[in-house]
Amino acid sequence: MRFLLMRPAAVAATGALIVPIHSDGGAPAGLPRALRATIERVAKAAGSGRLYGVTTHFGTAPERIVLVGAGKRADLTPERQRRIAAAGVRALWRAKVRRIAVVVDESLGTAPAIEATVQGVIYAMWRPESHRSKPEPLPAISTVGLVASAVPVAAVRRGQAIGDAVNFARRLANEPANLMTPSNVADEARTLAKATGLRCEVLDEKRCRALGMHSFLSVAQGSDQPPRLVVLRHHGRAGKGYDLALVGKGITFDSGGISIKPAAGMHLMKADMTGAASVIGAMGAVARLRPAANILAVALLTENLSGGRATKPGDVFTSMSGKTVEVINTDAEGRLVLIDGLTYAQREGARRVVDIATLTGAIHVALGDHFSGLFGKPDAFVARVLELSRGAGDRLWPMPLTDEFRDEVRSDIADLRNQAGRHGGASIAAAFLDAVIEDGVEWAHLDIASQDWSDRDQPHSPKGPQGPGVRTLIALAESVRGG
C-alpha cells in the first residue's frame, strides 16, 4: 500500500474520501468549497456524530464520502486519531475502491497525525476470517492520499512499521491453537527475523533444561507439543548489554492444566500467546526503525494441558533464578513461564525489562474492557512507560504493587507460591514476577488480559484480537536510544 501527499483538489478523483467530523466543528477547512458544503449537509442530516460512527454518502467526485465521528476537538489523542482512520477504512471493506483519500487533522502535530492515520489505515486492512473455505476478498485499497500540509516520510515509515507489528500480533493471536503451536510461533519469528535482519535463536526443551528453566518447563510437561523459547536481538549500537528487553507470555493454549478451566469461553485461550506475539511483532518494527539501542526479546512458548506428566497442584520446581516455586494452581501458569524469561533477559545483560502477558482475569475485573494494567518499579520508570503509552496510543493504567502483595506470594514450603488470596489477583501476579527482578533493574509489567480480545465489533475494529501494548513496546525501544 502506498501513502502519498494529496492536494485537496485531487480528492475528487478518488473512490472514497474519509473525513473526520468533530462534534464541535464543521467540514475541514482547505477542501474545495462545494465539497465542504456537501460534507456539512451530510453531517447535519446524519445527526448523532457519535465517536467513530460512520456515515457514507454516495456521489460522483469523489464517489464516496465517508464521515467519521471524531468527538470533541480538544479530546483528540493519537489513539482516537488512529481509530478514526481505521473506522473510515473499515467501512470500505467490500467497496472495491483502490484509491482513497484521508483528511488528516493536524492538531496533534503533522508527524504524529500522519503516523496515527497510517497506523489506523493498516489496522483496518486486517480481518479475522482466515479459515473460510471460500476466502474473503482482500481489500482493494492500494493508494492512500493523505490530505495534510505535509507527509513526512519518517512518520509514514513509523506508521507502517507499527501498524504491521500490531497486525502481526493480531494474526498470530487469532489463529487456532492446532495451527499456532509453540513450534509454529517460533517459525513465524524466524521468518520475521529473516525478512527484517534480526538475530533469532530458538531454544528447545533440552537447552531450557540446561539453563535451569524448570518453572517454564513445569508448564510444558503436561503437553505433547514441545516448548520453544524464542530469542530475538537487535543490535543498534556498539558494545555489550541490552538497553531494553521485552518478555512475552506465549501460552499457545491455556486449558488451565490439572486446575482445569470451565468449558465456556475456553476456546479463546488460543490467544493466551498474545504477549509473545506482541514482543515478536514489536521486534519486527524495531528492526525496520533501527533505533540506536540494543534490544532483546524473549518469547516463552508452550501449551498448558493436563497430560499424564502434567504438574499437580502442590508440586515444587526450581526456577532459573534459583527461587523455588510451589504450584498451588496450574492455571496460574503465565507467571511460571515469565519468571524464567525475566531471569534469562537479566542474565543476558538487560537492566531494563518489560514483560507483556494475558496474565489474569482479575485485571479485567479491575479495569474493564478498555485499559490494561501497568505495574513495575521504580515508580519513575513506571511513570515513563505510562507517558510513552499515551503518546503511542495505548491505554495503560497504573496498578499497585506493594510489600503486602509480595507477602502474599510466600509459600509454606518453598520460596514462592503461584496463587494467593482471591482479592487483588492482578497485583498478586505482579508481585510474583517482582520476586525475580534483580536490584537496580528497571521493570514494567503489562497485564493485557483485559484488552487483548474484544467480544464485540467496534467501528474501528472487528471483534477478536486487538494488539494492545505493541505500540508502547515499540515506543520504549525507540526511547532507550543510547542507554
424 binds ligand BES per the rule CB under 6 A: no
Judged by CB under 5 A, the residue of 272, 303, 394, 447 near Zn ion is 272
Residue nearest Mn ion by beta-carbon distance: 331
> Of the two residues 261 and 351, which places its CB atom closer to ligand BES in the complex?
261
254 binds Zn ion per the rule CB under 5 A: yes
361 binds ligand BES per the rule CB under 6 A: yes
CA distance 201 to 219: 21
Give the residue numbers annotated as catalytic, written as ranges.
Answer: 261, 335
260: left (phi over 0), alpha (psi -120 to 50) or beta: beta
**Closest by Cα among 67, 5, 4, 6 to 35:** 67
Tell me the CA end-to-end span of the chain in Å, nearest whole number: 35
Query: HSE on the CB side for 5, CA within 13 Å?
Result: 10
Backbone CA torsion sign across 357, 358, 362, 366: positive
Say whether 104 sits in a helix, a strand or coil: coil
465 binds ligand BES per the rule CB under 6 A: no
CA distance 444 to 246: 10
449 binds ligand BES per the rule CB under 6 A: yes
Length of the chain: 483
Task: Please name the helix (run of DSSP H) or strand (run of DSSP E) that holds residue 287, with its range, or none.
Answer: helix 274-289
Residue nearest ligand BES by beta-carbon distance: 361
Q: How far is CA 343 from the centre of its chain?
A: 23
The piece of 126-134, 248-256, 363-371, 472-480 that touches Zn ion (CB under 5 A) is 248-256
CA distance 475 to 277: 17
Compute the chain's Rg from CA coordinates: 23
> Of the two residues 333 and 452, which places its CB atom closer to Mn ion in the complex?
333
30: left (phi over 0), alpha (psi -120 to 50) or beta: left
> In angstroms, what is the minimal distance from the CB of 404 to ligand BES?
17
334 binds ligand BES per the rule CB under 6 A: yes
Q: How many residues bind Zn ion (CB under 5 A)?
A: 4
> In angstroms, what is the minimal distance from the CB of 166 to Zn ion?
21
7: left (phi over 0), alpha (psi -120 to 50) or beta: beta
333 binds ligand BES per the rule CB under 6 A: yes
Q: Is the Cβ–Cβ distance between 183 and 177 less than 8 Å? A: no
> In angstroms, what is the minimal distance from the CB of 223 to ligand BES?
14
From ligand BES, Zn ion, Mn ion, none, which one binds at residue 360 (CB under 5 to 8 Å depending on kind)? Answer: ligand BES
Q: How far is CA 54 from the centre of its chain?
A: 25
Judged by CB under 6 A, the residue of 425, 462, 464, 467 near ligand BES is 425
Judged by CB under 6 A, the residue of 166, 230, 332, 475 near ligand BES is 332
Q: Which of residues 300-339 bind Zn ion (CB under 5 A)?
A: 334
360 binds ligand BES per the rule CB under 6 A: yes
> Of the two residues 22 and 249, which places its CB atom closer to Mn ion in the complex?
249
358 binds ligand BES per the rule CB under 6 A: yes
The piece of 99-107, 144-152, 230-238, 324-332 that touches ligand BES (CB under 6 A) is 324-332
> Of the two residues 324 and 329, which places its CB atom closer to ligand BES in the complex?
329
The CA-atom distances, in angstroms, between 150 and each of 4, 6, 27, 104 are: 9, 9, 20, 10
User: Which residues contact ligand BES (rule: CB under 6 A)?
Assistant: 254, 272, 329, 331-334, 358, 360-362, 419, 425, 449
User: Which residues contact Zn ion (rule: CB under 5 A)?
Assistant: 251, 254, 272, 334
